[in-house]
Structure 1
Amino acid sequence: MMIKFRAWDKVQKVMMVPRDMQTDSDGNIFYVEARSLDGEYDEGDLDVFELEQFTGLKDVNGKDIYEGDILENRKYRSIVKFASGKFLADVVGTISRFDLIGETHGSKVIGNVHENLELLEADK
């Protein structure tokens, strides 16, 4: 699986693609340089960016699934999170949580928690 990230720029309020990430001696990322799809550039530490990792999975349309994505299937919407060493789907409006790997069949990415908060409030 390819390890890749996207970066939510908390200052510019836009999703960006990391171009360079610097790590400390323990391998922890501490500094990011990134570009948005329209060419905007920003750099900074993790106070500026929230990094979200690619899960290695794709939705029913072949779109990459990242942490923070909102998925929808016939029954419910869920948010992709990383906890307990694995990617999970937290069902919106409930305490239900499932392994993401079993939730991708029939699910599609409809947005993310940064740019589409309205998807978490509305009933499906």
Structure 2
Amino acid sequence: MREIKFRGLDRIDGKVKNIEQIDIKNELVLFENDGWVDGNNYELMQYTGLKDKNGKEIYEGDIIQLKNEDLEVIKVVCEFGTAKRQIFDNLVEITGFYFKRLCDDKKTFPIANNYLGKHDLELFEIIGNIYENPELLEAYNES
């Protein structure tokens, strides 16, 4: 069972903060240094339960860099939703966390073993997130 936790983007100051607790009924979030605040002022990002090669927790919105089998550096964004995936002869829809490649918007999931015989997460390195580092998205889209 994975750990359920969130972080939130403060829409006012643009900073991402770790959330200690959420009061869904009253739409409040608790931050360690800020106390209870209006949850409507925050964009929530859920922890995937996965960590990158440096042990850093992967959240929705994280931008991740890795090298593919051709040793090309590619970037992906962690998202939550439904993606279609070909499994043997069937096209199935899977709902959960996935990684969207920036070069072509293809949605993919971590696999058990990759071309190096390692788990994909051993290649993933978080380099930022879509909120605090939008230039990483812009720079990629311009190339």
Is 1:115 matched with 2:126?
Answer: no
Greater helix share, 1 or 2? 2
Q: What is aligned with 1:68?
A: 61
Letter in 2 for 1:69: D
SS in 1 for 2:136: helix
Q: Percent identity?
A: 30
Between Structure 1 and Structure 2, how many residues are aligned? 115
Instruction: Give the TM-score taking structure 2 as reference length.
Output: 0.71
SS in 2 for 1:61: coil
Match of 2:78 among 55, 67, 80: 80
1-side partners of 2:122 and 2:138: how far apart? 24
RMSD: 2.0
Cα pair 2:28 2:36 within 8 Å, conserved = no
Q: What is aligned with 2:14?
A: 13
Gaps of 5+ in 2: 68-72, 83-94, 112-119
Gaps of 5+ in 1: none
Instruction: Give the TM-score taking structure 1 as reference length.
Output: 0.81
Match of 1:49 among 42, 46, 53: 42
1-side partners of 2:104 and 2:129: how far apart? 18
Give the C-alpha shift of residue 42 in structure 1.
6.7
Q: Which has the larger radius of gyration?
A: 2
